[in-house]
Amino acid sequence: MLTHNLGFPRIGAQRQLKKACEQYWAGNINRNELVFAAKKIREENWLLQKQAGIDMIPCNDFSFYDQVLDMSLLLGVIPHRYTPVATDIPQNAEIDLYFAMARGYQQHGLDITAMEMTKWFDTNYHYIVPEFIAAQQFRILSDKLFHEFNECQRVTGTTPKPVLIGPVSYLLLGKEKQSGEAADSSFDKIDLLKQLLPVYIEVLKRLEEAGAEWVQLDEPFLATDLTEKQQQAFQYAYKEIRKQCNLKILLATYFEGLQENTSLAANLPVCALHIDLVRAPQQIDDVLKAIPPKMSLSLGVVDGRNIWKNDYSRSLALIEKARVAIGEERIMLAPSCSLLHSPVDLDGETAIDAEIRNWMAFAKQKLGEVTALKQIVEGNAALLAINTRAIESRRHSTRIHKQAVKDRVAAIKEADAQRKSEFTVRQRIQQLRFNLPLFPTTTIGSFPQTDEIRQLRAKLKKGELSQKQYESEIEEATVSAIRVQEEIGLDVLVHGEFERNDMVEYFGEQLDGFLFTQNGWVQSYGSRCVKPPVIAGDVSRTGDMTVKWSCFAQAQTSKLMKGMLTGPVTILQWSFVRDDQPRWQTAFQIALAIRDEVMALEKAGIRIIQIDEPAIREGLPLRKKDGPAYLEWAVKAFRLSASGVQDETQIHTHMCYSEFNDIMEHIAKMDADVITIETSRSQMELLQAFAHFKYPNEIGPGVYDIHSPRVPTVEEMMYLLEKAVALLPVKNIWVNPDCGLKTRRWTETIAALKNMVQAAQVTREKA
């Protein structure tokens, strides 16, 4: 049984890569220093894997920014607009072209936009989307891959396993473009395979010459819905590769089961197939049946995307099944996917309670689990006994298992997820109560989180400010934001969220069942890392979370003050979740906690309450057919959180970065009295789904993009509002920005909101 790893986090245990990159971008360190920092991280990672006893150590899993962008550079897929970066500025090296593509280039009189970024399957990692033109040519442009192969060989004294994105998935990750940035629908990217393959095969041959034995080709699309043409592309690509190159190919799939693609994958002419047995353990039987006699099977049994200790007995049962079916020699052991998605090292976590820490594993510990599993199969029973004790302790610990919480979820009734009256009735009651004008204006919640505000929290943490001093500073910021909103003339105000570090962490810190790491960073994109909270146990609310700040804010003004909460699905989606119960169960626990907070706000006199759910859409499963079941419980979780209130209390929700077309039915089922969405960048195009569906409730299509410091004009926003008027009943339209304003500065915020209010006023007069 060979052990291997699909990829290791490259940010460094102390986020060294982030720091080095950002210093390089700021001009504080030179290229050599950056290269050196990266080299050190690679060396540490490789040696760590060697010490853990991993037989096949991956290389080329390192990346300065993103592994998909690395592929684009390797294969010479450089959009035209970057040519000047590479050719006109003599001091630029390959890495500068690379960063220009990732981040845009505003230097030396050039102003070139960055390439688009989007989510890597259903993870919170973002990759740089390749741009293909109809006449796309490929050529080997970068030496990084070969360099890292040699380097890894030298450092570890082993034959490394280079990791590449497979040719079909690489094409499927990209977009068809004209020579500019505009989309091009005149060709299908998958047809570029013919041009791509010769170059791809040349890459493989060069690896072979360099001494590689195995190469890992990631084809995650094999775990998604495929068209017939895409299936044929897989067959064609791997037949060509087989014909022309002798390397042993390990085909890696992850994030889902192969399902109906099982026979396709198993019949590709490759030496080994990797499957994700954490996400889809049930696929083992079908895969074992389908796998041809000589192919090896890599069992992804250790969860690459979470922080929990592996349950060895469960993994061993899967390994045993495979052993009986195909024999030990054909089995490989590995994490389920690249460890890119887990934090680096649990040893750095000194603040987590020892009992709970003993239930956890980060990337470094997961490598140990892979080799431990092999040792257990070889007879080391002691390792299994230690693991069983930890798993048992987690299973029964009263620190995380709260019967009352479980009982409450079990007792949920349909009526709990149902507002008292239907929307039209509520709308009438709320209109009478609030007497808002047509096109009421509001914002999404946060106001600028200035350095001063952030420093307040830092000082509080360091003990340089007392809790009382801190709170009085936050009060001051809140009052001043309220005055600003009154002066601008907004109809429904917000308190500004100055007391919040982050929209999930703020709630996690106050809810029972959550814990926080000191260093549990995971790469989100480029140098951006996130440190998700950990949902460790049954979740419950131990007291008011936002009531004090909302009431303080409401007391400062005679205008309506919106209460501001994060919804259960978003809290779930942006945390490390439990793996010992279904996601819906955790979501419902959080939903009940938020519900209690909603009711407490209502009781305290808050008349409008917003429950943000920006992450509902990103929780959609990879397979279309699994969508409805997910949406069913996700929407129910939201409704549970929102439905305890009286008809006269108005529930808002907010969703950004979303396309709504295919989920309109479920958005409507959320039955929020008002939904605010991001629409300005698409020029209200996203609103058409709502119009088409005849969405019945009130809706605030964002009229300006908060991602840019640019102040939009009154006319621009009126133009967008007119578009909205053409699509929706006038009485249902709200006016607001696309999202919260925490990343903006005050000057641009005030200017933009003044224009927005004016645009609403003029449109109102016309109506």
Nearest CB to ligand GLN, comparing residues 333 and 564: 564
Site string for ligand GLN, 66-105 (x = CB under 6 A): ----------------------------------------
Partner residues linked to 565 by β-bridges: 611
The one segment of 62-70, 290-298, 441-449, 578-586 that binds ligand GLN by CB under 6 A: 441-449
Asked if 147 is an active-site residue, the reply is no
Answer for which of 654, 666, 723, 744 binds ligand GLN (CB under 6 A) is 654
Binds 9, which of ligand GLN, Zn ion, none (CB < 5 to 8 A, cut-off by type)? none
18 is in an annotated binding site: yes
Contact pick of 304, 343, 496, 614 for ligand GLN (by CB under 6 A): 614
Looking at 107-115, 440-448, 660-668, 684-692, which segment touches ligand GLN (CB under 6 A)?
440-448
Rounded to a whole number of angstroms, the minimum distance from the CB of residue 736 to ligand GLN is 10
CA distances from 733 to 310, 407, 437, 681, 721 (A): 50, 41, 11, 18, 9
The DSSP annotation for 698-749 comes to EEEEB-S-TTS-PPPPHHHHHHHHHHHHHHS-GGGB-BB-SS--TTS-HHHH
Look at strands 511-515 and 492-493 and give their pairing: unpaired
Asked whether residue 387 is marked as a ligand-binding residue, the answer is no
Q: Which stretch binds ligand GLN (CB under 6 A): 2-10, 192-200, 439-447, 463-471?
A: 439-447
Taking CB atoms, the residue at the shortest distance from ligand GLN is 740
What is the SS3 assignment for 511? strand
Instruction: Candidates 385-393, 438-446, 642-650, 711-719: pick the segment binding ligand GLN (CB under 6 A).
Output: 438-446
If the CB atoms of residues 48 and 553 are measured against ligand GLN, the closer one turns out to be 553
Question: Exposed (0-12), middle (13-18) or buried (19+): which is 652, by Cβ within 10 Å?
Answer: buried
Closest CA to 732 of 489, 419, 427: 427
Q: Does 742 bind ligand GLN (CB under 6 A)?
A: yes
* CB-CB contact of 98 with 73 (8 Å): yes
Minimal CA–CA distance to 365: which of 347, 352, 388?
347
DSSP conformation class of 176: E
Exposed / middle / buried, residue 407 (Cβ in 10 Å: 0-12, 13-18, 19+): exposed
**Residues interacting with Zn ion, by CB under 5 A?**
614, 656, 739
Tell whether residue 497 is among the known ligand binding residues: yes
Q: Phi-psi category of 704—alpha, beta or left, where left has phi over 0 and alpha has psi -120 to 50?
A: beta
Q: Which is nearer to Zn ion, 61 or 613 (CB)?
A: 613
Residue 166 or 700 having the CB closest to ligand GLN: 700
Structure tokens at 232: 């044929």
Q: Which residues have C-beta within 8 Å of that of residue 638, sequence separation ≥ 6?
A: 567, 568, 569, 591, 611, 613, 616, 653, 670, 672
Q: Which of 218, 499, 505, 612 binds ligand GLN (CB under 6 A)?
A: 612
Q: Is 723 annotated as a binding residue?
A: no
Rule CB under 6 A: say whether 564 interacts with ligand GLN. Answer: yes
CB 744 within 8 A of CB 707: no
Q: Any idea what DSSP says for residue 4? A: B
Determine whether the annotation assigns residue 654 to a binding site.
yes
Task: Region of 478 please: left (phi>0), alpha (psi -120 to 50) or beta.
Answer: alpha
Closest CA to 373 of 281, 306, 297, 309: 309
- Map residue 694 onto helix, strand or coil: coil
For position 592 contacting ligand GLN by CB under 6 A, the verdict is no
Residue 445 near which of ligand GLN, Zn ion, none (CB within 5-8 Å, type-dependent) = ligand GLN
| Identity of the residue, 359 or 704, whose beta carbon is nearer to Zn ion in the bound complex | 704
Output 37 or 598, the one with its CB closest to ligand GLN.
Answer: 598
Minimum CB–partner distance for residue 563 and Zn ion (Å): 17
Residue from 371, 446, 554, 641 that binds ligand GLN (CB under 6 A)? 446
Q: Contact between 220 and ligand GLN (CB under 6 A)? A: no
Among 656, 670, 675, 752, binds ligand GLN (CB under 6 A): 656
Q: Is 722 annotated as a binding residue?
A: no
The number of residues that bind ligand GLN (CB under 6 A) is: 13
- Residue 686 CA to residue 674 CA, distance in Å, equals 16
Closest to ligand GLN by CB, 535 vs 739, is 739
Binds 446: which of ligand GLN, Zn ion, none (CB < 5-8 Å by kind): ligand GLN
Beta bridge partners of 512: 540
Considering the complex, what minimum distance in angstroms separates the CB of residue 143 from Zn ion?
41
Shortest CB 447 distance to ligand GLN, Å: 8
Q: Is 445 within any annotated ligand binding site?
A: yes
CB of 739 to ligand GLN, least distance (A): 5
CB 165 within 8 A of CB 121: no
Closest approach of ligand GLN to the CB of residue 762, in Å: 26
| 452 labelled ligand-binding | no
Please, what is the minimum distance in Å from the beta carbon of residue 742 to Zn ion? 10
- Output the smallest distance, CB 612 to ligand GLN, in A: 5
CA distances for 245 relative to 210, 276, 308, 443, angstroms: 13, 27, 40, 59
Residue 444 found at the interface with ligand GLN (CB under 6 A): yes
CB-nearer residue toward ligand GLN: 63 or 653: 653
559 known member of a binding site: no
571 in a known ligand binding site: no
User: Which residue, 224, 673, 729, 687, is CA-closest to 420?
Assistant: 673
Give the CA distances from residue 628 to residues 20, 123, 487, in Å, rounded to whole numbers and listed in that order: 44, 19, 45
Helix axes 547-555, 467-488, angle to 10 degrees: 50
Closest distance of CB 573 from ligand GLN, Å: 12
Q: Indicate whether 445 belongs to the interface with ligand GLN (CB under 6 A).
A: yes
739 lies in the binding site for ligand GLN (CB under 6 A): yes
Closest CA to 124 of 531, 511, 470: 531
Stretch that binds ligand GLN, among 10-18, 125-133, 443-451, 632-640 (CB under 6 A): 443-451
Helix (H, G, I), strand (E, B) or coil at 239: helix
Does position 503 interact with ligand GLN (CB under 6 A)? The reply is yes
- Long-range (24+ apart) CB contacts under 8 A made by 134-139 are 134/176, 134/184, 134/186, 134/187, 136/77, 136/192, 136/195, 137/76, 137/195, 138/75, 138/76, 138/77, 138/195, 138/196, 138/198, 138/199, 138/200, 139/75, 139/76, 139/199
Least Cβ distance, residue 627 to ligand GLN (angstroms): 22
Q: Say whether 618 counts as a known binding-site residue.
A: yes
Decide if 566 contacts 504 (C-beta within 8 A): yes
Residue of 80, 147, 341, 707 marked catalytic: 707
Binding to ligand GLN by residue 740, rule CB under 6 A? Answer: yes
Instruction: Give the binding range for ligand GLN (CB under 6 A) out of 119-127, 134-142, 204-212, 444-452.
Output: 444-452
**Do 482 and 560 contact (CB within 8 A), yes or no?**
no
CB of 324 to ligand GLN, least distance (A): 49
612 in a labelled binding site: yes
User: What is the 3-class SS of 355-379, one letter each residue?
Assistant: HHHCCECCHHHHHHHHHHHHHHHCC
3-state DSSP call for residue 352?
coil
Q: Which residues bind ligand GLN (CB under 6 A)?
A: 444-446, 497, 503, 564, 612, 614, 654, 656, 739-740, 742
- Catalytic machinery residues: 707
Annotated binding residues for Zn(2+): 654, 656, 678, 739
Q: Which residues make up each annotated binding site for L-methionine?
A: 444-446, 497, 612
